[in-house]
């Protein structure tokens, strides 16, 4: 830690930030609660916005719902572990390998097969019938009075990120329908925003950077029971952008989808992939053998076998191409054409040229189709799906060239330049005249420098720990790393010029390769615009030569 600068950085998990980030991670708080905690520790009164009558009423209603859910959780849990009502449910859970420790950790419960056990018990605790209805625990009768929504079911309390009970899922013990019954949407519960088990998994997700996503309660509990702790469940519904963003906020970098292997589970996987692939995750798909779900598989084969499935899990592109083949009869020409049609969108949109080339080669061998024909279909797809010709050309280059990543020397140069600007704000306007934010290759550092230029020009605060609050999570994390770097330069002016030169050269080299490859692609396609690309390549080459002479 560097208390004098107000930053910390963990070189083990690459997690960092300011004092608020530190409290959020250690205490599992959101930002407003971290501010309140720090203010309380320091005895600093926080200004409070005056609440309207409606705001105060809403707070009271939400507090009543949280209390009702807490009491219901305790009631259901007691029915399961302490009464004869829960005998059959205890046997059911035991037969599925669920231990007493897991039952206690997740506060699993049982709703008695009666119409008024919960409503009667909670009314004795002062909970009004209308509150039970608003909480989704009771249903209004057509005449008067209410009755229990959940009856004769194993109960799964659903917590929010702070561990507050916001709803329930109930599973029947027999074959009656519906198999699962969830709390309806309430003031505190919206299943599109909730990940089951997130409150107990988020610290393990932060530590590993990985998360396993399953569909249902029993899948999660079975994995947790076997020792796999970085797992969450999407509550049996489509994986939503709001759920994905929760994982982004806890620094999940790699996401493993372990949905059921039946047709419904595979379709859910496809929908989930469409949700997350634009959010920057490395996505992998855990193939469940023999039509099993994660619950059944891990109970039969154990944690080590499931971990092997995770290790062998294919990436997004491999899964999409493999699924195109496996779901199509390729014995005839029509089937082969269908496979290519299914695979082409995934190949066209992928960003790793080596991986794309490998899949094109494998498809060619598997289907006995010429590679050139597959590449031709990819080009047609790009041309048809992108009206902007430049974007289309960019996609063609994406397939025929290696994706570029900044070398370590450029990473260091970009970090040092940012650090020097924070050490001496007077450097900022000079740097801005020499390079633009787009010259920076690292995504997070590009965000930092662009934000730094904007904040300086608008005369906003450039105190690092305050400035970090304006940045998205990954960029703020990178700034933390930069601010704890050890640096010792004597001739700062020369160092700044050298760093600017290195960054500009790296940017120009990247542009040169891009335009050269584009010229080659256009010439191969017989497009006369390749001459313009050659001219631009030469211009960039001349600029590189001049810069090297400085």
List pLDDT tens digits, range 237-254: 678 878 888 887 787 888
Q: Which of 183, 207, 237, 176 is nearest to 13 (CA)?
A: 207
3-state secondary structure of 117: helix
What pLDDT is stored for residue 263 in this prediction? 60
Q: What is the mean pLDDT of residues 3-25?
A: 54
Comparing 241 with 370, the larger pLDDT belongs to 370
Q: Which of 156, 185, 243 is nearest to 65 (CA)?
A: 185
Which H/E stretch holds residue 301?
Answer: helix 294-301
Q: What is the mean pLDDT of residues 445-469?
A: 87
Cis (ω within 30 of 0) for the bond into 178? yes
What pLDDT is stored for residue 403 in this prediction? 36
The DSSP annotation for 124-171 comes to: TTT--HHHHHHTTSEEE-SSSSEEES--SEEEEEEE-TTS-EEEEEEE
What pLDDT is stored for residue 345 in this prediction? 87
What pLDDT is stored for residue 262 in this prediction? 66
Q: Which two tokens stand for residue 401?
A: 């060239």
The residue behind tokens 């900044």 is 406
Q: Quick: pLDDT tens for 100-110.
A: 999 999 999 99
What pLDDT is stored for residue 23 in this prediction? 59
Q: Quick: pLDDT tens for 64-78.
A: 999 999 999 999 999
Q: What is the mean pLDDT of residues 121-148?
A: 94
% of residues, the chain, pLDDT over 90? 33
Find the angle CA(184)-CA(185)-CA(186) to the nearest 5 degrees. Answer: 110
Comparing 548 with 86, the larger pLDDT belongs to 86
Q: What is the mean pLDDT of residues 38-48?
A: 67
Q: What is the mean pLDDT of residues 491-505?
A: 87
Per the prediction, the chain carries an average pLDDT of 83
The DSSP annotation for 28-40 comes to: T--HHHHHHHHHH
DSSP assignment, residue 474? H
pTM across the whole model: 0.63
The string over 363-394, giving b where at least 16 C-beta atoms fall within 10 Å of a residue's C-beta and e elsewhere, is bbeebebeeeebbebbbebbeeeeeeeeebbe
Least confident of 157-161, 295-299, 341-345, 352-356: 352-356
Q: Which of 28-32, 146-150, 214-218, 498-502 has the highest mean pLDDT?
A: 146-150
Pairing of strands 210-214, 180-182: unpaired
Q: Quick: pLDDT tens for 508-538.
A: 888 888 887 777 777 777 777 778 888 888 8
CA dihedral 185→190→196→199, nearest 10 degrees, is -120
Q: Quick: pLDDT tens for 200-235.
A: 999 899 888 899 999 889 999 999 999 999 999 988
Reply yes or no on whether the pLDDT at 306 is more than 80.
yes
Q: Are 112 and 79 in contact (CB under 8 A)?
A: yes
Q: Which of 121, 77, 102 is nearest to 227 (CA)?
A: 102
3-state secondary structure of 275: helix
What pLDDT is stored for residue 319 in this prediction? 87
3-state secondary structure of 528: coil
Reply yes or no on whether the pLDDT at 2 is more than 60.
no
Q: Which of 172, 276, 163 is nearest to 217 (CA)?
A: 172
pLDDT band at 394 (very low <50, low <70, confident <90, very high): very low
Q: How many CB atoms lie within 10 A of CB 274?
A: 11
| Segments in 386-491 forming alpha helices (H) | 389-400, 408-423, 427-434, 443-457, 464-467, 473-483
């Amino acid at each position: 830690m560097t208390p004098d600068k107000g930053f910390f950085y963990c070189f083990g998990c690459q997690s960092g930030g300011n004092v608020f980030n530190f409290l959020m991670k250690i205490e599992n708080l959101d930002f407003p609660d971290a501010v309140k905690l720090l203010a309380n520790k320091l005895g600093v009164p926080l200004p409070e916005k005056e609440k309207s009558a409606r705001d105060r009423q809403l707070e009271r209603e939400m507090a009543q719902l949280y209390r009702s859910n807490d009491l219901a959780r305790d009631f259901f849990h007691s029915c399961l572990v302490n009464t004869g009502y829960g005998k059959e449910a205890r046997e059911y859970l035991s037969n599925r390998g669920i231990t007493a420790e897991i039952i206690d950790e997740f506060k699993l419960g049982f709703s008695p097969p009666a119409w008024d056990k919960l409503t009667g018990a909670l009314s004795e605790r002062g909970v009004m019938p209308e509150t039970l209805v608003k909480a989704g625990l009771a249903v209004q009768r057509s005449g008067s009075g209410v009755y229990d929504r959940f009856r004769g079911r194993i109960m799964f309390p659903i917590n929010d990120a702070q561990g507050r009970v916001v709803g329930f899922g109930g599973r029947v013990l027999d074959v009656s329908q519906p198999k699962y019954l969830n709390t309806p949407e309430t003031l505190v519960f919206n299943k599109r925003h909730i990940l089951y088990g997130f409150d107990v998994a988020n610290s393990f997700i932060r530590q590993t950077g990985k998360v396993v996503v399953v569909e249902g309660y029993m899948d999660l509990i079975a994995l947790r029971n076997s020792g796999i702790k970085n797992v969450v469940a999407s509550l049996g519904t489509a994986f939503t952008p709001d759920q994905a963003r929760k994982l982004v906020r806890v620094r999940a970098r790699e996401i493993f989808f372990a949905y059921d292997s039946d047709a419904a589970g595979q379709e859910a996987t496809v929908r989930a992939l469409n949700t997350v692939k634009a959010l920057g995750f490395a996505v992998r798909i855990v193939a469940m053998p023999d039509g099993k779900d994660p619950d059944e598989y891990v109970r039969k084969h154990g944690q080590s076998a499931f971990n092997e499935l995770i290790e062998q899990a294919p990436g997004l592109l491999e899964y999409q191409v493999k699924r195109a083949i496996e779901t199509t009869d390729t014995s005839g020409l029509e089937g082969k054409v269908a496979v290519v049609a299914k695979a082409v969108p995934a190949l066209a949109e992928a960003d790793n040229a080596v991986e794309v080339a490998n899949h094109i080669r494998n498809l060619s061998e598997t289907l006995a189709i010429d590679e050139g024909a597959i590449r031709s279909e990819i080009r047609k797809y790009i041309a048809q799906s992108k009206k902007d010709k430049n974007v289309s050309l960019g996609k063609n280059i994406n397939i025929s060239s290696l994706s570029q990543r900044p070398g370590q020397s450029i990473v260091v140069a970009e970090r040092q330049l940012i650090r020097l600007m924070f050490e001496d704000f007077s450097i900022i306007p000079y740097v801005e005249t020499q390079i633009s934010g787009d010259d920076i290759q690292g995504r997070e550092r590009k965000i930092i420098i662009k934000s730094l230029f904007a904040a300086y020009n608008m005369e906003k605060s450039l105190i690092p720990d305050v400035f970090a609050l304006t940045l998205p999570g990954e960029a703020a994390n990178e700034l933390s790393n930069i601010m704890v770097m050890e640096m010792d330069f004597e001739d700062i002016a020369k160092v700044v010029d050298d760093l600017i030169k290195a960054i500009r050269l790296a940017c120009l080299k990247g542009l040169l390769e891009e335009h050269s490859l584009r010229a080659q692609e256009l010439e191969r396609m017989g497009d006369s615009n390749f001459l313009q690309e050659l001219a631009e390549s030469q211009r960039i080459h001349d600029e590189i030569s001049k810069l090297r002479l400085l």
